[in-house]
A = this chain, B = another copy of it.
Amino acid sequence: MSTADTSDGFIDQVSWNGDGLVPAIAQDFKTGRILMMAWMNRESLAITASEGYAVYWSRSRNKLWRKGESSGHLQQVREIRLDCDGDTVLLLVEQQGGIACHTGRASCFFRLLADGEWQESQPVIKSPQAIYESPEL
Contacts and interface: CB of A to CB of B under 8 A. Distances in A.
A8 B108 contact: no
A13 B118 contact: yes
B84 A102 contact: yes
Interface string A1-37: 0000000111001000000000101010001111011
Given A32-B32, A82-B113, A84-B101, 9 more contacts: A10-B117, A25-B37, A34-B90, A80-B113, A81-B112, A82-B118, A83-B111, A84-B103, A84-B108
A49 interface: yes
A90 B23 CA distance: 13
A109 interface: yes
Nearest to A35: B83
